[in-house]
Amino acid sequence: MKKNLLTVLVLALTLVNTILIGVMMVSVMGTNKKTAKLVGDIATVLNLELGTAGEEEKPEVSLADTEVYAIDGSMTILLKSEPGATKSTYIVFDIALSLNKKHADYKKYGGENFKSYDSMIKSAINDAVMQYTELECRNDMQAMKDDILKAIQEIFQSDFVYNISLSGVKFG
């Protein structure tokens, strides 16, 4: 009789335990869904804030639609002097421009015609780079590249030149 009573008690406790686990799972799942929605909303807001206000996203251009135009020869540009500096500092680099062949303005400016704009492009690059000191160039090369790209895009009033690449950068 004691054995049957213990078996019934264990069975009853197991049944109560199973019911309580079911209730707990239902309540936790509801909270879990609300938490997942909240995290998703926060991620959406943070993703929106990652973009800079007023700045358009750059279109993705495939490699097949890209023409790379390398400016002939290395460019040597006098940098802005550091405060208290006694000697002039120069930057030397090779530059290549990435042109979007699918852009409407490429037909007007690109291809064989693009070489005729070399002197204007070099002048814009020179004007953009000479605003930087050596320390600024070393610390934030991307800002300098962005300024060069913006100056080139202002010449053509177009963004068919969508990227620039600097190589062989040296200071002296």
Task: Identify whether residues 34 and 73 lie together within a single domain.
Answer: no
Least reliable range by pLDDT among 46-60, 62-76, 87-101: 46-60
pLDDT of residue 3: 75
* pLDDT > 70 in the chain, percent: 91
Mean residue pLDDT across the chain: 85
List the domain range (segments joined by +) for residue 3.
1-55
C-beta separation of 140 from 109 below 8 A: no
- Kindly report the CATH number assigned to the domain that includes residue 90: 3.30.479.30
What residue spans of 51-161 are helical by DSSP H?
A: 104-109, 118-129, 134-139, 141-156
Residue 147: pLDDT band (50, 70, 90) is very high
Of 55, 73, 100, the domain-final residue: 55
- Which of residues 39, 55, 71 is at a domain's end? 55
Q: Residue 49's pLDDT is what?
A: 54
> Do 162 and 81 share a structural domain?
yes
Average pLDDT for 64-69:
87
143 and 88 in a common domain: yes
d(CA 27, CA 8): 29
Q: Given 9, 28, 55, which residue is the final one in a domain?
A: 55
> Do 78 and 154 fall into the same domain?
yes
Could you give the number of structural domains in the chain?
2
pLDDT tier for residue 114 given thresholds of 50, 70 and 90: confident
> 36-63: per-residue pLDDT in tens?
888 888 877 776 555 544 455 566 778 8
- Rounded Cα–Cα distance for residues 111 and 99 (Å): 9
**Are 33 and 117 within one domain?**
no
pLDDT greater than 50 at residue 99: yes
Cα-atom radius of gyration of the chain, to the nearest Å? 32
Same domain, 49 and 132: no
Beta bridge partner(s), residue 92: 76, 170
pLDDT on residue 53: 47
Do both 144 and 96 map to the same domain?
A: yes
